Amino acid sequence: MNLRPIFLSLKRNKFMTFVLVIQIAFTMGVLSSSVLVSTATLSEWNLPSGIPHEDIIRVSPEFFEQDRDVGQAIIDDVERVKQFPSVVSITPSAAVPFTAENVVNVYLETGEDAQGHQTVIFDADESIVSVLDLSLIEGRWINESDVIRGHADEVTENASIMMISQDMANVLFPESSAVGQTVWLSNQGDPVKIIGVYSNFMTGERLNGRGKSYHSFIRPQVKWAEGREPHYLIRMEPGVAENQLEDVVTLFYQERGRYINFPERLKRTQKRMYDGRGSRALTFLVISAVLLIITAIGITGLTAFQVNQRKKQIGTRRALGAKKSDIVKYFLTENSIITFFGLLIGLLLTFSLAFEISEQYGQNMLNLTVVLGTAALIWVINMVAVWFPAKRAANVAPAIVTRTA
């Protein structure tokens, strides 16, 4: 097929052609990015939490008055909850699984050029091991004598030892054991020694667009600020957490003058975090679907417009012996050229957006299968969109030449 008439036609309608090319490119970039985010979210949903989250309750108390003895309240809360028949274990903790709280950078060396590795630190006592039902991979557990307790303003030193998750250990020390290694919590801070490696559990880090799902440390310390206690993670016997949640929360209200934030099972915390990420992914997909429809309408409109403007030309070609299939092929080829350049620009946009997403997630998010699949989908939709006006063009009678002469 001679492409020169097609390019001349596109040049004559260069504004509309330009708009469609940009529209296709934008649709390609947004749709690909939406699918990449959705894929990341779905992959997160399929990862095991690593903990019995259906049996764990989280409670976050806070005093109305700032001068309350928070340290004594923590002791009283823990002892009171331990007496509840269905409670297996309880720990005060600065972070909660699935929420990406207490995010810090961990360094393998000090100095201004040191590179940090983002992670979540769980400041808790020795009971966190039983609450989260973790397994010891290497080294030893933290014990009661390791735990530093006190008001954050009064106890300025931090624990000099920590435990590390298996995934985090594999990243920081891929060729050696993590036990006995030293890390820093700031590039100018004090060294912290790793004493043990525990099984992975989900922190929520990646869900908030930072780091990896299983990257965490456990530091044996319980600190508090004025009027504010740490979170409490409470593991219940299997199958009773949902029915006894209210009874457990009531125990905390025995300490007057405070309110309770987020009294819920970790299963609910997990769902809420997933729903937030899923809603954003769904919004992107809806926007992408709208863009696909608008693009298809634009392609259909352009072709229909050109059919009306070029009836005499089409009739002349028919009079000179062009078949209906030749006319259809002409418009399909014209649309293919527009779509090709749109997808070419869209690929560049997709790679740029994928890089930004990868920076947020801490890993390479570029999936060529997704990108090429998106391009193929847009191509097919555009071909379908141009098919019907192209068929109508093919039905232009050769006699139209004499009627318009």
- Mean pLDDT, each 10-residue run in order, the chain (405 residues): 68 78 86 76 72 92 76 87 92 89 86 83 94 96 92 79 94 94 83 95 62 83 79 93 86 77 84 69 75 77 70 71 78 85 91 77 72 88 80 69 51
Query: What's the one-letter identity of residue 272?
Result: R
pLDDT of residue 91: 95
Same domain? 282 vs 356: yes
Distance CA 6, CA 232 (A): 70
Domain that holds residue 173: 92-228
Residue with tokens 């001068």: 67
Q: Which of 165, 196, 228 is the last residue of a domain?
A: 228
Please tell me the pTM assigned to this model. 0.71
Same domain? 224 vs 280: no
Task: Confirm whether 236 is domain-assigned.
Answer: no
Same domain? 172 vs 283: no
Same domain? 311 vs 200: no
Residue 369 phi/psi, 5-degree rounding, is -60, -45
pLDDT of residue 153: 76
- Are the C-beta atoms of 80 and 251 separated by less than 8 Å? yes
Task: Confirm whether 82 is domain-assigned.
Answer: no
Same domain? 298 vs 398: yes
Residue 219 phi/psi, 5-degree rounding, is -115, 125
Q: Which of 228, 257, 287 is the last residue of a domain?
A: 228
Same domain? 41 vs 115: no
Q: Which two tokens stand for residue 109?
A: 């060396």
pLDDT of residue 212: 65
Same domain? 104 vs 163: yes
Same domain? 98 vs 222: yes
CB burial of 350-365 (b: ≥16 within 10 Å; e: otherwise) equals beebbeebeeebbeeb
Which residues are CB-contacts of 283 (< 8 A; sequence separation ≥ 6)?
Answer: none
Q: How many domains does one find in the chain?
A: 2
Task: Confirm whether 60 is domain-assigned.
Answer: no
pLDDT of residue 209: 44
Task: Confirm whether 371 is domain-assigned.
Answer: yes
Distance from the Cα of residue 132 to its chain's centroid? 24
Task: Confirm whether 76 is domain-assigned.
Answer: no
Task: Confirm whether 182 is domain-assigned.
Answer: yes
Q: Which helix (H) or strand (E) holds 182?
A: strand 182-184
> Which runs of consecutive H residues, i.e. helices, occur in 187-323?
241-252, 266-309, 311-319
Same domain? 178 vs 279: no
CA nearest neighbour of 52 among 132, 127, 125: 132
Task: Confirm whether 252 is domain-assigned.
Answer: no
Same domain? 116 vs 210: yes
Distance CA 228, CA 68 (A): 9
Which residues are CB-contacts of 331 (< 8 A; sequence separation ≥ 6)?
Answer: 303, 306, 307, 386, 389, 390, 393
Residue 86 phi/psi, 5-degree rounding, is -90, 0
